[in-house]
Amino acid sequence: MLIDNEETPETKEPVKILLATPVSSQVCHNGFTLSCLSLAHLCQKHSVPIGYNFKQNQALLHLARNEIVYDFLKTDYSHLLMVDTDTGFEASDILKLISLDKDVIGAPISKKSINWGKIVKAVRDDKVKTPADATYFGHYPNFVPWEDSDGTGEERLHQTDGYCTVKLTNNEPLRVSSVGTGLILIKRRVFKKMQEVHPELEYIKMDLQGKALKMHSFFELIRKKDGSLMSEDISFCYRVNEMGMKTWVYPWMKTIHFGMHEYTIDFYKCV
CATH number at residue 92: 3.90.550
Could you tell me if 45 and 138 lie in one domain?
no
Is 164 part of a structural domain of the chain? Answer: no
| CA proximity to 185, closest of 71, 107, 74 | 107
Could you tell me if 145 and 62 lie in one domain?
no
Mean pLDDT, range 115-143, rounded to an integer: 81
Could you tell me if 120 and 215 lie in one domain?
no
Compute φ and ψ for 40, nearest 5 degrees: -60, -45
Residue 136 has pLDDT above 60, yes or no: yes
- 10 Å Cβ neighbour count for 161? 8
Radius of gyration of the chain (CA): 19
- Sorted by sequence, the CB contacts under 8 Å of residue 87 that are 6+ apart come out as 29, 31, 32, 35, 107, 109, 182, 183, 255, 256, 257, 258
Q: What integer pLDDT is reported at residue 122 of this predicted model?
A: 81
pLDDT higher for 106 or 138? 106
Q: What is the rounded average pLDDT for all residues in the chain?
A: 85
Q: What integer pLDDT is reported at residue 94 of this predicted model?
A: 96
Residue 202 has pLDDT above 70, yes or no: yes
Could you tell me if 79 and 138 lie in one domain?
no
- Sorted by sequence, the CB contacts under 8 Å of residue 158 that are 6+ apart come out as 115, 140, 141
- The residue segments making up the domain with residue 174 are 17-111+169-269
Q: What integer pLDDT is reported at residue 175 of this predicted model?
A: 93
Report the domain count for the chain.
Answer: 2
Order of strands, edge to edge, in the sheet holding 143-145? 50-55, 17-22, 79-83, 183-187, 104-106, 247-249, 174-179, 143-145
Could you tell me if 127 and 219 lie in one domain?
no
Could you tell me if 251 and 173 lie in one domain?
yes
- 10 Å Cβ neighbour count for 3? 12
Could you tell me if 191 and 102 lie in one domain?
yes
Residue 174 has pLDDT above 80, yes or no: yes
Select from 158, 191, 225 the last residue of a domain: 158
Burial of 131 (0-12, 13-18, 19+ CB in 10 A): exposed
Could you tell me if 153 and 200 lie in one domain?
no
Ramachandran quadrant class, 210 (left: phi over 0; alpha: psi -120 to 50; beta: rest): left
Residue 124 vs residues 20, 118, 129, 155, 158: alpha-carbon distances, Å: 42, 10, 11, 21, 18
What CA–CA distance (Å, rounded) separates 171 from 168? Answer: 9
Q: Mapping DSSP to helix (H, G, I), strand (E, B) and coil, where does residue 62 land?
A: helix
Residue 11 has pLDDT above 70, yes or no: no
User: Pairing relation of β-strands 79-83 and 104-106?
Assistant: unpaired
Q: What integer pLDDT is reported at residue 13 of this predicted model?
A: 73
What pLDDT digit, counting tens, does each position of 12-58 carry? 678 999 999 998 777 888 999 999 999 999 999 999 999 999 998 88
User: Pairing relation of β-strands 174-179 and 143-145?
Assistant: antiparallel
